[in-house]
Structure 1
Amino acid sequence: MSRIFIFALALVTFGFGTAQANEIKVGMIMSFTGPLESLVPPMVDGAELAFNEVNASGELMDGSTITLVKGDATCIDSAAAVTAAEAALAEGVVAIFGADCSGVTKAITQNVSMPNGIPNISPAATSPSLTTEPDNGLFYRTAPSDARGGEVLAAITADKGVKSVAITYINNDYGVGLADVFEAAAESMGIEVTAKIAHEGDKADYSAEVGVLSAAGGDALAVLGYIDQGGNNIIRGTLDAGSFDQFALGDGMIGTSLEEAFGDELNGSWGSTPGSLGESFQKFQAYASANSVDPNSVYAGESYDAAALLILAMQAGDCDISGCNGSTDGRSIADNIQKIANGSGPKIYAGELAKGLRLLRAGNSINYQGATDVNFTEVGEAFGQFLEKGYVDGKFVNVGAR
């Protein structure tokens, strides 16, 4: 069952005072339930940090404010995700922030965004298959593709001295794509793949999968699944069986709920997530921390950027020699996202959205850097960087950029 929530950011959620006359509705279709449930709140925090910033500034389109219409993408139920997006569309949204999981993101793009001509931008959908899916130029993602992410994780694994690895992956677009890339990259680096098996995300018993993986063995087990469904159960089963004590973890497995579940049991394991440690991140880290948002949460920065790009792209519409009045037309927003991220004007970082809006209103171009040094390929996906994650004393830590 899909769930729809309406949040008036200017009045209810953040207490900014009386809403302005020009209300702009944006859909936020994220997996508030399902296998990513514990990872979504930090993404929402990152996005709302950008919406909060703009509403407080009063600089968007003569004081217009953003109202979010929230719906549950579920991560695993494409029909429910589409229903949630359609309900948001009926509320009058002009763009969609989301979704997160690749399968439901694809369903929303093809069944809601394309037929209705409105853009959607995902902070977390990483399946390589999305690169070639038709989207009429309406779909963007601020997280880089797993076509690169799988290679990074394999390189980290090789650097750990691993000579053999078993692989388990969630049986959907995300898991299949990441597993295929990881397997090919690992083998090219001289790592033997002892087993590669899919798992479902909603089983009560994973003893069969644990048995196959344990029998295959290896120096490490690569778990390319979801933190709240399946992946955590398989880790528990292999730990209890004594078959693995080192784990290579995909981005869907990295979060505080894994730390809480396993504590020191995963010490010495590793993983990778999109992210960087450069100037953009340093500025985002300071700004997010000052506003009680954890900048180190997986996809928090990508979420801030996705929200910010939607807002800036609105202001960049309806331009003439006197400047840009702004537009909520879907085609205009979609086309301007690319221009803003890949622009040649002044650099705009986290916490500087009001400055960006003023420049755009005056008819100037900007180069949005945001939290993650956003720059898009010609098909609208972030080139992106990756962070190597270590697991030390029961916690994930940043090791370095890749």
Structure 2
Amino acid sequence: MNGLKTSALAIGAALAFASVGTEAAAQDCTTKIGAVLPTSVDWGKPIASTAQYAVDIANETGGVAGCQIEMVLRDTQVDPKVGVDAAKALVDLDGVQLLLGAVSSGVSMPILTSVTVPAGVMQMSCCSSSTAFTALSEEGKTNGLFYRTFATSGVQAAVGAMVAQEQGYESVAVFYKNDDWGQDIGGLVAEDLRALGIEVTAEIAINDAQASYRAEVTEALQTQPQAIYMALYPDEGTQVVREWISLGGTQNMIAANALKSDEFKENVGMQFLGNFIGTDTASPRTESADAFVDAYTARFDGPPSGPGLANSYDATMIALLAMHAAGEGAAGPQIAEKVSAVTDPNGTPVTADAAGFAQAKEVLDSGGTVSYQGATGNVQFDANGDVSAPAVIWSFGESGIDEMKYISLTEVNDFMASMK
């Protein structure tokens, strides 16, 4: 398969049915959508590029609701205040009714509560995993405006505990980023470790931009754990690991997917990561997921190895199809209501390429529903806008990320149930 570039060419003739008037309309009007993503960090740039890739595919088919889509991108710098200011500008100045982002739960949450919900704008996140969003929805405080294509922190926490059990670790110290995401996953993994009979020797909060984390590392070292678990981002993760190793800490490390970063690997050094094991949610082993890998590789000259790329693609495609179903000029609540028409398990199956996007628009225009088969599989949201997912255990290799083990959705769910 030659990817979506080839697919787009292949459907060129099929798109010839579009009337000249429709094509002109698509060219004469532009609809802006917003994106708040951390483009100033190495792992954030590909997430943004993948979202733009999906927008490009939609525009190849004539756009959305008769108009071309312009994605207005603003950098969050993984900072809640910067993210909120960026989102406000997109909503107040650019008038967007759809906002993609953010990545970090600690940035997505204040955007949701102080910007998108009050303004009635739909927010679709590729990567925010905190269970706090589920709780907020259950309390009726999201107004049905928030969706995410990344599974909750519970999946990675459970798999992190699974790794510790499989490695035979009897004691683990937990480092977590002191934000919504880190507090959530850090607390969950500590709970899961204890459920497996593994001692949690320390739970250490790591704050932003400290000159040194020696005090925090020393506190954890004094508890003499056999391994450490890290729910940290690359900047803080690099500093913590450097301090940890320099003070004689073990190389037995388990980490959430935020450390799936070339920056982290290069700054720490492979010589210190021999026993490092990472966790992540994973795309199912389906034809649609394989097709995305092939297409992404053709577009970007390399496979989608960073965190959140498949999720970013699906978040964007689903949101754009919902916008199309809602019609030109639709407001955020109307777009959000149409997500179910795009992810209907009983709808017409459509692929996640240009041909599938064009087919989906035809079905939706005729009043039907579609079942989007995407980079993360057959996406289905629950009442809170959440999805579940398989998982993967990985390590750093000399040339990239090496997959160690794939864990199916059934295996993930069974393991999580066993701890309860």
Give TM-score scaled by structure 2 length: 0.84
1:40 aligns with 2:66: no
Partner of 1:176: 183
Residue 376 in structure 1 maps to residue 381 in structure 2:
yes
**How far apart are the structure 2 equivalents of 1:285 and 1:394?**
18
**Bigger mean CA deviation after superposition, 200-209 or 259-268:** 259-268
Matched with 1:188 is 195
2:78 and 2:107 in contact (8 A); partners too:
yes
The 5-angstrom pairing of residues 198-237 of structure 1 reads 198-228=205-235, 230-237=236-243
2:323 is aligned with what amino acid?
M
Instruction: After TM superposition, give the deviation of residue 291 of structure 1 in Å.
Output: 1.0
1:355 alignment partner in structure 2: 359
Matched residue, 1:115: 118
The aligned residue for residue 104 of structure 1 is 107
| C-alpha distance in 1 between matches for 2:224 and 2:199 | 11
AA of the residue aligned to 2:303: D
* Structure 2 unmatched ranges of 5 or more: 1-24, 408-420
2:369 aligned residue: 365
* Match for residue 335 of structure 2 among 327, 333, 336: 333
Tell me the distance in 2 between the aligned counterparts of 1:394 and 1:215.
35
Secondary structure of residue in 1 paired with 2:55: helix
Q: Check the 8 A contact 1:232/1:258 in 2, yes or no.
A: yes
Residue 298 in structure 1 maps to residue 307 in structure 2 = yes
C-alpha displacement of 1:122:
0.6
Q: Distance in 2 between matches of 1:327 and 1:360?
A: 16
**Displacement of 1:145 after TM fit?**
0.7
Answer whether contact 1:375 1:384 (CA < 8 A) is retained: no
**Cα distance, 1:201 vs structure 2:** 2.1
What is the CA deviation profile of residues 113-161 of structure 1, one whole-angstrom value per residue up to 9, with x for unaligned ones?
A: 1122110111111111111112100011111110222112111221122
Instruction: Check conservation: 1:127, 1:173, Cα contact below 8 A.
Output: yes
2:368 is matched by which residue type in structure 1?
Answer: N
The letter of the residue matching 2:115 is: V
Mean alpha-carbon deviation: is it higher for 273-282 or for 83-92?
273-282
Contact 1:263–1:394 (CA<8 Å) still a contact in 2?
no
For the pair 1:397 / 2:402, whether they are aligned, the reply is yes
Which position in structure 2 is the counterpart of 1:91? 94
Task: Report SS of the residue matched to 1:132.
Answer: helix
Cα-Cα RMSD? 2.0
Q: Note closer, same or farther for the CA distance 1:189–1:394 as it changes in structure 2 (3 Å cut).
A: farther
Specify the code of the residue in structure 2 equivalent to 1:210: V
The 8 Å contact of residues 155 and 281 in structure 2, kept in 1 or not, is answered as no
Following TM superposition, by how much is the alpha carbon of 1:50 offset from its aligned partner in structure 2, in angstroms?
A: 0.7
- Structure 1: unaligned runs, 5 residues or longer: 1-17, 319-325
CA distance in 2, matches of 1:74, 1:260: 21
- Partner of 1:183, secondary structure, is helix
Distance 2:344 2:391 in 1: 20
Q: Which runs of 4+ in 1 moved over 4 A?
A: none
SS in 1 for 2:73: strand
User: Does structure 2 conserve the Cα–Cα contact (< 8 Å) formed by 1:349 and 1:371?
Assistant: no
Alpha-carbon displacement from aligned partner over 1:58-111 (angstroms, at most 9, x marks no partner): 15323x1111112222323x3322221111112121210011111221111112
Moved more, 115-124 or 255-264: 255-264
Q: Percent identity?
A: 26
Partner SS for 2:174: strand
1:145 to 119, 142, 152: 152
Aligned-pair CA distance for 1:19: 7.7
Q: 1:178 Cα deviation (Å)?
A: 0.4
Q: Work out the CA distance in 2 between the residues paired with 1:192 and 1:353.
A: 50
TM-superposition CA deviations, 1:289-328 (whole Å, max 9, x none): 111163222100000011101110012125xxxxxxx553
Does residue 21 of structure 1 match 2:28?
yes
Whether the aligned pair in 2 keeps the contact of 1:125 and 1:143 (CA below 8 Å) is: yes
Q: Return the alpha-carbon distance in structure 1 between the equivalents of residues 397 and 303 of structure 2.
A: 19
Deviation larger for 305-314 or 379-388: 379-388
Change (3 A) 1:27 1:57: same
Distance 1:399 1:363 in 2: 44
Residue 197 (structure 1) aligns with: 204
Give the letter for the 1:120 counterpart.
Answer: Q
Q: How has the CA–CA distance of structure 1 residues 217 and 303 changed in structure 2, closer, same or farther, with 3 Å as cutoff? A: same
User: Which residue does the alignment assign to 2:322?
Assistant: 313
Once the two structures are TM-superposed, the CA of residue 277 in structure 1 deviates from its matched residue by 4.3
- Residues of 2 paired with 1:296 and 1:346: CA distance? 30
> Which whole-Å deviations, capped at 9, do the CAs of 1:159-185 have from their partners, x for residues lacking one?
122221111111111111101110111
Matched, 1:246 2:264: no
AA aligned opposite 2:249:
S
Partner of 2:53: 49
Q: For 2:58, give the aligned amino acid.
A: V
Alpha carbons 2:65, 2:325 under 8 Å: kept: no
- Residue type at the aligned position of 2:210: K
Q: TM-score, normalised by structure 1?
A: 0.88
For 2:209 and 2:169, how far apart are their aligned partners in 1? 30
| Deviation, structure 1 residue 395 | 4.0
Q: Select which of 69, 73, 78 maps to 2:76.
A: 73
